[in-house]
Amino acid sequence: MRMFAFGIVGMVLALYLSEVGLSDSQIGILLNVTLLGDAAISLLVTLNADRLGHRHMLLLGCALQLLGAVVFAYNDQPCFWLLTLGATIGVISPSGNEVGPFMALEQPMLSDLVDPSSRTYTFAWYNVLGYFSTALGSLLAGASSTWILHSYDITIIDVYRLTFVEYGGLSIVMALLVFLLSSSVEFVQQHKAGGVGASVFSSLENGEQQEPLLLSVSEEVDGDHATSSMNSADPGAESKRSPPVTSLQQPADKESQASFYQMSEASRWKVFRLSVLFAADSFAGSMVAGSLLAYYFQVIYKVDDTYLGGILFGANIIAGFSSFASGWVANRFGLINTMVFTHLPSNIIVILLPLMPTLQWATAMTFLRFSISQMDVVPRQSYISGIVPAEERTAAMGIVNVMKSLGAAFGPLVTGWLAQTGHFGWAFYLCGGIKIMYDVALLWSFGHLKAEHER
């Protein structure tokens, strides 16, 4: 649901900003602060997720997503500063890819809830569903924009506003779905260490159902009565039941708190080096991602929204299939090897893309790039979760995702300036060149270090 919404917005965001009168440089600045705001929100959530609850943090993300949608959809006289404020404090995806706090919460949940040997395949399905949903969102945004424009007497700006109305509505649906999550997601990080989480993990393996957030809230209101009733009905129930947890109550184990400084020294050093490398990769990728890629095709080839939606739809569908294949490749050839040797050829294709003589060739090169460019995503997620202890996983993944968001924040600035000066193609050259250096540095720094489930 979230990635479908991100696909809708990623398709139209830069086009909308151009239509309301922002220059290319201003578009770059606004996308920059959008991603900086997403990074700050991710950091806030990561630092408080274990203490305040993963479900509460997911609800906060949904609320901020709705806030961003309201600012963009119900702004009668769009101006740069108001849109910038809305993009900063709201969760908006300029690329159509994952932004904000959601992934930093979900990945540790998935990592701990599945057996380590199944982790890579789990992340593969996680990303397949995400790419397919983004693809459908992009296709819908492109096709519906053209159809509405030709069917009704409204401006293209109003059409784009309707897209943000859809975005806000989907954020409400997402919030309702969060209420259905069980309390299991709050405990999973401690199952290997024993303690409260161990009983929850054990109950998961035995097929027992934990209470969803809606029930846990009602238990919080009348917790004493529920406990006394349970004990009177079955004197041995307390020993059979894992300790009750309300929506606000979290494990008190300090090591479960998502803090960089509470990691072991070895974990901190690994997370720091990975964060720097992934930030560089995200910086390069954000130069030509999602909304900016669509904007490039519109500026250079003058295509309509339906064609742009088709490009992003096809690219994400191809990425989804390659993401699923990457799970098998990673288990056969290793996580780091898969990350590097599928990434290198795609970066060469990025450099060649602006050199294509026709729209058809440029489209074909885009599809060819996406057939392998995203095969590093699944092994990267699996690798991070497998090189740190379970109790440090939320911190590690959260910090890496924050650093990636920070890196991605500055790519649109560069692209905006290049487009403003008539050198849009150089964004692709820089993107490919920096990514190639990242691949070499990753192989040199981590080629010898394997994740726990690779041994």
pLDDT higher for 15 or 194?
15
Using CA atoms of 290, 294, 300, 306 in order, give the dihedral in degrees to the nearest 10: 160
Work out the angle at residue 419's Cα, subtended by the Cα atoms of residues 418 and 425, and round it to the nearest 5 degrees: 75
For the segment 233-274, what is each residue's pLDDT rounded down to a tens digit? 444 444 444 444 433 334 434 433 445 556 788 888 888 999
Domain containing residue 374: 2-185+256-445
SS3 304: coil
| Residue 399 half-sphere exposure toward CB, CA atoms < 13 A | 26
Classify residue 353: in a domain, yes or no.
yes
Q: What is d(CA 438, CA 432) in angstroms, rounded to the nearest whole number?
A: 10
Please answer whether residues 4 and 136 qualify as being in contact, where contact means their C-beta atoms are separated by less than 8 angstroms: yes
Residue 226 covered by a domain: no
The token pair at 137 is 């969102």
SS3 182: strand
- Is the Cβ–Cβ distance between 235 and 246 less than 8 Å? no
Evaluate the CA torsion angle 61, 67, 72, 74 in order and state its sign.
Answer: positive
- Angle, in degrees to the nearest 10, between helices 102-113 and 119-151: 140
Contact assessment for residue 189 and residue 50, using Cβ atoms and an 8 Å cutoff = yes
Single pTM value for the model: 0.68
Q: What is the pLDDT of residues 85-102, one digit of tens each?
A: 888 888 887 777 777 778
Give whole-number Cα distances, 382 to 37, 123, 435, in Å. Answer: 26, 7, 20
Domain-located, residue 72: yes
Q: Report which DSSP code applies to 303.
A: -
Q: Above pLDDT 70, what percent of the chain?
A: 82
Residues in the chain: 455
Q: Which of the given ranges, 74-83, 115-124, 157-166, 345-354, has the highest pLDDT on average? A: 345-354
The CA distance from 199 to 44, in Å, is: 29
* 3-state SS, residue 314: helix
Residue 71, both tokens: 């600012």
How high does pLDDT run on average in the chain? Answer: 79
Mean pLDDT of 320-342: 86
Q: What is the mean pLDDT of residues 312-332?
A: 85
Is residue 68 over pLDDT 50?
A: yes
What is the C-alpha to C-alpha distance for residues 420 and 415, in angstroms, rounded to an integer?
A: 8
Residue 80 lies in a domain: yes
308 assigned to some structural domain: yes
Nearest to 396 by CA among 194, 107, 200, 196: 107
Terminal Cα-to-Cα distance of the chain (whole angstroms): 35
pLDDT reading at 26 higher than 60:
yes
Higher pLDDT among residues 99 and 370, named by residue: 370
CA pair distance 394, 344, nearest whole angstrom: 29
Where residue 42 sits, what CATH number does that domain have?
1.20.1250.20
In contact, 1 and 174? CB cutoff 8 Å:
yes
Distance of alpha carbon 354 from the chain centroid: 27
Q: What's the rounded Cα separation, in Å, for the pair 116 and 104?
A: 18
Query: Distance between CA 455 and CA 411 in Å, rounded?
Result: 37
208 part of a folded domain = no
- Cα separation of 402 and 421, whole Å? 31
The radius of gyration computed from the CA coordinates of the chain, to the nearest angstrom, equals: 23
Q: At what angle do helices 393-409 and 377-386 cross, to 10 degrees?
A: 140
Any idea which of 41-55, 139-153, 166-180 has the lowest mean pLDDT?
41-55
How many structural domains are present in the chain?
1
CA atoms of 53 and 60, how far apart (whole Å) = 11
Instruction: Check pLDDT > 50 for residue 437.
Output: yes
Helix (H) or strand (E) segment spanning residue 241: none
